[in-house]
Structure 1
Amino acid sequence: MARVVVVGGGYAGLASSVRLAKLGHDVTLLERSPTLGGALGRVEADGFAWDAGPTWTTLPAVVRDLFRKSGRPVERELDLVPLDVVREHRFADGTRVTVPATRAAQVAAFDELGPGLGRRWVDHVASYTDTWETLRREYLEVPWEAAAPSRPLAALLGSRETLHRRLRKVFRDERLALVAGHPAVAEGHDLRNVPAWAGVTAYVEQRFGAWTVEGGMARLADALADRLGTRGVTVRTGTTARDLVVREGRVVAVDLGGDQVDADVVVVAVDPRLLPTLARHVERTMPAIPPVVAHLGLEGEVPHLPHEVVLHGDPLLVVRTGGRAPDGASAWTVHGRGRLAEDMLRALARQGLDVRAGMVTRVDRSPRDLVDAWNGSPLGVLWQGRATVRQRLGPTTPVAGVFAAGAHATPGAGLPYVGLSAALVAQAVGPA
């Protein structure tokens, strides 16, 4: 039985802790904040509640595997609910497309934008079939060695083609390029710096659909926090890890600044740049900056929208409608990126969604607020070209006994990939 210390109580830390505890290890979880969950938490005010970060996910099998490998099946804890629509996109020319979660429905939806666009869209999505299979087999489901990837994976990750170039080559219609590039843009990336293979997100969304948790995604964190107790994990909130203690090249403890927690294994589920021992190994990376966020409590009649609507332009606005509200009210969250020279609600009104008269409460959070609250960016590492994938740590690190999980680690940001990062760490550490 190894003494395992997990640094960070967000989704990656929770998932790593319960997996490793189920494998028989003695696990201690350290979290700087007074509560667990990180970006997978909730914001509450005046009877309204909003998911603080993600409101839905793809790859539901990742969540199912996590619960199955740590104890009880997810169906006994949570209701995973499929969404019929991935998101709706509205363009500057007044047109719009609602993107369903199935191939046939996507053909019909894009054909409404213009004849033949449905076929062009699904052909683009299908072009990522081999990409997905290579990533799944060689990168997502097994720990990888950056210094010695398989030949197919090396060819894929080494490609110089950017997502910007591919989309401009494939789509003559700018609207389709905006739809395909949106997931990366929404996370703060410049498509000229994003590898073309990262566009596999469109394939994942079509093949596996979009899913949410009944009652809000924060319930996923609640269920995992409860499982910590079931698995006997020691939880220390309000505890900041200052650095790692390394002797003869191997980790032996986590430094708390005047105190330390002995460890045979440490899982770093926060931005590794926060720990000086690891910071030098990721000095070439930069964090992806979160958006400006406004959580809105609305009364009266509001427009009926899908769970997520993207308003393309500058600024780029994303409206999420799935918050909890008192009877007769609605809870929205608005994300903003780009030239936010005016209040986001005014910018939203210019796009035809004026809810200012019905607003009864509002919680604003700047990118700095989010980074401070979560001890780092929940969007992980900024894409700065094809080399970025090798600059992320995880599941192993250059320090013996230290592993990395979370948005800043392999395989990257987003709930599915953060969940996979915890699974990779569990594989790399192995059973007690």
Structure 2
Amino acid sequence: MARVVVVGGGFGAMAAAARLAKLGHDVTLLERSDHVGGALTSVEADGFAWDAGPASTLLPAVVRDLFRKSGRPLEREVDLAPLDLVREHRFEDGSRLALPGGSRAAQLAAFEGLGPGLGHQWVGHVASYGEVWELLRKEWFERPFDPDVAPRELTDLLGRRESLHRRLRRAFDDERLRLVAGHRLVMDGHALRDVPTFAGVDVYLEQRFGAWTVPGGLAALGTAMAERLALRRVDVRTGTEVGDLVVRDGRVVAVSTRTADGSGTVDADVVVVGVDPRRLPALAAHVRRTVPAFPPVVCHVGLDGEVPDLPHEVVLHGDPLLVVRTGGRAPDGGAAWTVLARGRLVEDPLVALARRGLDVRRQVVTRVDRTPRDLVELFGGSPHGVRWAGPRTARQRLGPRTPVAGVLAVGAHATTGSGLPFAGLSAALVAELVGRA
């Protein structure tokens, strides 16, 4: 039995802690805030509630596998349900695209509605990622990368210099299709000129597996994970700031901590880092060539009275790029929206939204605003991980292994994918490396 210390309380860290505890290890999780969950929590005010971070997820099999491998099946804990639409896109020329998930035929028809031939262009582009995903899944996301034994196809893919921006310009003459294909990465804070082509695989995952959520808010998944930690008897210590790793003879032996009661250390045979490694001096030097992908501006609003009938997510393309999410909880007669903004935001997000035809300013009864800096401070780092700066970024980030013996990494900063499923896959890699007690 190894003494495992998990640093951080986000989804990737919780997933790693639950898996390792189920494997028989003595696991302690340290979280600096007063609760676990990270971005997978809720924001509440005046009877309204909003997801603090993501409102939907891809690859539900990853979450199901996590719950099955750590105890009771997901279905006994949380109602993870498919969404009819991945999202709705609204373009500056007035055209709209309701993007379905989980169906090639449905996406073909939706894009044909934008213009003759566009559907076939789209499904052809998405199909080109089929083999890419299978290679990445088997050799990158589900197997610890070792350059000495990695397949040539994988190393060639990871080293390919063509940017996603250039690939999309070659694939589509219609700018609207390029906007849809790059949307997830742009909203995660990346410039498509710096993103390698393989990172565009999300469009394949959306079409193949669809998007999923929990009715009432995805934060319920964070609550279920906290309960799973208790079931697995993980020693969860909130209000505990980790100052650094304690390393002797090149190997980690403990972590230094600070609490309201003073400083101390927690002994460890293995440390799993689920936070931005820049926060730990022992690791910071190893990631100095990377920078975080900063979050967008976020405005949670509680509305009263009749509001426009929107799907769970609407994207308003332009500058600024706006996203409206409608899945929050509200008192009777109300609605809870979250507005996210990226780009040149020189005005209130609700003013920018009103200029796009969605004016709800007179119906606001409460609001919670958070800047990118607020979110980084709240979550202890960017929930979007490392910003792409070309293909080399894939190997410059740390995870699952790190240069310090006994230290592994999980979560947004340790994976090249975006969102909960990739954080969950990184936790599975760490559990594989540590093994059974």
TM-score (norm 2): 0.98
Q: Equivalent residue of 2:135, what SS?
A: helix
CA distance in 2, matches of 1:213, 1:48: 17
Residue 282 of structure 2 is matched in structure 1 by 277
Give 4+ residue runs of structure 1 displaced > 2 Å after superposition.
145-149, 410-413
Query: In structure 2, what residue type is equivalent to 1:55?
Result: A
What runs of 5+ residues in structure 1 fail to find an aligned partner?
none
Displacement after TM superposition at 1:216 (Å): 1.1
For 1:293 and 1:148, the matched residues in 2 are separated by 43
In structure 2, the partner of 1:358 is 363
Question: Contact conserved, 1:381 with 1:412, CA < 8 A, in 2?
Answer: no
Query: Deviations along 1:397-424, whole A, 9 cap, x unmatched?
Result: 1111100001000344311101111111
Q: What residue is the counterpart of 2:410 in the other structure?
A: 405
Cα deviation, residue 63, structure 1: 0.3
8 Å CA contact 1:336–1:344 kept in 2: the answer is: yes
Post-superposition offset of 1:77: 0.3
The residue identity in structure 2 corresponding to 1:2 is A
Partner amino acid for 2:365?
V
Tell me if 1:215 matches 2:206: no
- 1:59-138 mapped onto 2 (5 Å cutoff): 59-101=59-101, 102-138=103-139
Paired residues of 1:272 and 1:278 also in contact (CA < 8 A):
yes
Does structure 1 retain, via aligned residues, the 8 Å contact 2:8–2:32?
yes
CA contact (8 A) 1:171 1:177 kept: yes
Shifted more, 15-24 versus 214-223: the winner is 214-223
Residue in 2 aligned with 1:428?
433
Matches within 5 A, 1:25-424: 25-101=25-101, 102-146=103-147, 149-257=150-258, 258-424=263-429
Native 8 Å contact 1:378 1:413 kept in 2: no
Post-superposition shift, 1:298? 0.6
SS in 2 for 1:44: strand
Cα distance in 2 for partners of 1:147, 1:346 equals 54
Counterpart-to-counterpart distance in 2, 1:203 and 1:179: 12
Is residue 11–residue 222 contact of structure 2 (8 Å, CA) maintained in 1? Answer: yes
Distance 1:324 1:183 in 2: 24
CA positional deviation for 1:355: 0.6
Deviates more, 1:29-38 or 1:255-264: 255-264
1:367-397 CA-partner distances (Å, limit 9, x unpaired): 0110010100000000001100001111111
Q: Residues 307-359 of structure 1: CA distance to partner in whole angstroms, max 9, x if unpaired? A: 11100000000000000001111000000011111111111011010111111
Residue 23 of structure 2 is matched in structure 1 by: 23
Give me the identity figure in percent: 70
What code does the residue aligned with 2:314 have? Answer: V
| RMSD of aligned residue pairs (Cα, Å) | 0.9
Instruction: Measure how far apart 1:146 and its partner are.
Output: 4.8
1:410 and 1:431 map into 2 onto residues whose CA distance is 23
Question: Is contact 1:30–1:239 with CA below 8 Å preserved after alignment?
Answer: yes
Contact 1:411 1:420 in 2 (8 A): no
Aligned partner letter, 1:140: F
Residue 48 of structure 2 contacts residue 328 of structure 2 at CA under 8 Å; is this kept in 1? yes
Q: Distance in 2 between matches of 1:108 and 1:412?
A: 28
Native 8 Å contact 2:86 2:100 kept in 1: yes
Bigger mean CA offset, 172-181 vs 248-257? 248-257
Q: How many residue pairs were aligned?
A: 432
SS in structure 2 of the partner of residue 241 of structure 1: strand
SS of corresponding position for 2:162? coil
SS across alignment from 2:275: coil
Contact 1:322 1:332 in 2 (8 A): yes
Give the Å deviation of 1:214: 2.3
Deviation at 1:147, TM superposition (A): 6.0
Q: Name the SS for the 1:54 alignment partner.
A: coil
